[in-house]
Structure 1
Amino acid sequence: MTVLDPPRPVFRRKRFLLPFGVSAGLALVGVVALFAGGTVALPFQAVTVVRALMASKADFFNDGEVRRILMSKGIQVHLTDSGGSLEISRDKADSFDFVMPSGQVTARRIHDELGGTLFYPFTTPLVVAAFREYADALGFGGVATPRSEGSLYYRLDMAAFVELTRSHTTWAALGTGLTNANQVIAQSPDPCRAYSGAAYVGLVAFALNGKRTPTAADAAEVAARVRPLFEVEGQFGAGIGRTFFAPDGRTFAPVGVVYEHQYLAYQIRTKQETGAVDASRVLLYPDAHHHTEPWLIAFSEAGERVGRLLDTDPDLRRRALELGFRLGRAGSASLGDVLAERGIEEPDPGAGGTETFLPRSEDLAAMIGEVGRCPSGVPL
């Protein structure tokens, strides 16, 4: 006699299919999300790894949104940190797909020696960041002037600021309640390694030299006068921007040389996360400004492709603005628009109308060598 299994109840099949249906539904939602984000095709398309050498502007390519946009174009940028823009020329720059020094003096030297295709994606002024009580202390003597009451931005009289250091004035001696007994200075990155440090040497020299660019004839004499102003720092710091924006930044770097984009990116991020800007940190714009141009120098077709995208891709250009950069020579969109959308006051770095012209590279290198006593020379 054949024994037949009884039929399985329908409810058991439904109970088995239920988790499968939920999983399938979640997978479908995930696929839809990938399509919407423009990344669904990534596993099925070739990804070009582009090798790049740079210093502080690595922050742009390390940004998660920038990486996502590039990946959607089939590009992954592999970064090598040079340790400082001035050290890029010591490396075999043309063994990379592209390099991106933080300033035009270094970039011009690399391009003159190695060639390559130039791109000018964005600019950012060199500025002095300070905690508000320090900016207000400088304002007590007319050295710094706020744009308006409560403004995030001040105008800095560089000649007067330099004179405070030359006269060995301390922060506490300014008579505004500060107890900091250190001499009045703006901490700067190592001028032997970082473009911001080298450019700040040029900024101080311009102010100290009667707003005239030092030449071969007087560079050594001016450098000898500039050097004591930097010896006050002792050991030069690195990554002043990161130190200043740290929670305990007031303790380690109450006043420091940074790039404008670092400050604006911090304020945009802070406004997004907290609903308000950080009014305790402000920017001081030297009365003779210096705009840095981080040129992208491409040595391969892959490097050129990245350069063209930075120049033309609307998503990348929008993201550059959101990271505080001013768009380069081909730019038409406005940083002011991005700040206005977020209710953040827009700065005006060129309000004074005077531009600091740095010395020729060989003269600037001689000055930096005198000021920083660079152990391996200055690659300018």
Structure 2
Amino acid sequence: MDTIQFNLPPQIQGSTQIVGFYDYTLYISPVRANGIEIWNVHTFVPKSFKMMIKLDVQDVEIREFTLSPDGESIYCLFIATFPKHEIPKICVAKINTEITEYKIWELDFDSGDAFEQVYLNNVGLICGEEKLYMFDRTLVMGDIPFWEFNFSDDKETFNITANHIPQHDPSFKCNRYLIMHNPDTREVIKMDGGHDILIFDGSINEWIYYTPDEDNELRLTCVTTRGISEIRVRRGQRFEAIETKLSIFGRENRCIFKISNGGRHTFFRFSLNKENKTYKLKQIQQIHYKSSELSYRIASTDKRIAFVGQKVVAFIIIDPPTLKEIGFWGAQKIFAKKMVNGTWIGGKTEKEVRDEFQIKLQNSLI
């Protein structure tokens, strides 16, 4: 199936953050000083962009998002000022993706000292099966700051508990940002440009070397990676940016490696064999896609990848499409219009497709 491209609505063109990607729904948030908006779009319906929720806040300083593994909840950590208040608050919002209701917790006053140790500009927010977590995503050497969130529904407050990940052998010179593979077990992956990778096993509190599986299809030694603007800090070493043709996104069974070479993108699925202490990268897709935009961000499910630019979002299916997907997209092509730049506009929702073709069966069309 070809790459499917939609134009972003004018209201959200420009700088956006990826909130999450689950099944056929991509969630994004426009970066604005006032208000936190979350929009969603269906992978196969060009006209389906809609704002699902807006938090009425001003002077937003920090906002970090994560989507729960089951796709039912979005968490947003933010610092902002509420109407009729002058002092900014540190809060976590939990948004139900089905009914778009939300709940907000404020930082517990007694937890302020613990939060003083958090450099919010450097943290990543991630939701596990069990809890919500936060970690420093920019450190390449040294201890990895890691916290879990605790919520009090009675007081409508939250606090954090530190459970930092100890540094590995300093002879392993990590040259790119860490991969938080499984936050519930504090499973972290580090790479140094060699064949082997290091994985922290939280169950035994140790770093373990993993070697390439005999069926591995990507040699990491062939991928050049360079850290830019090294900074030494109290906890270790970080880079301002990483220069490489290798992108890594997703986690666990959704962890994807992408090699870019001009307009050619090659995708590999990453997996671990914990019994043999090996890893495998298996090529799953190769496409030619050259974005007209200078920069884009990537989100993935286990079957789909989204390229999100400032004006266009592109969806790529990395597994063979199902008959339902082929049929539903075929119906969209009847009702949608393809523009000169390759993007699609219009289309019909699943309900509208049912009505148009007078489909009585209750089974999902997609």
Q: Is the structural similarity TM-score above 0.5?
A: no
TM-score of the superposed pair, with normalisation by structure 2: 0.20
Q: Which has the higher contact order (CA 8 A, sep 6+)?
A: 1
* TM-score of the superposed pair, with normalisation by structure 1: 0.19
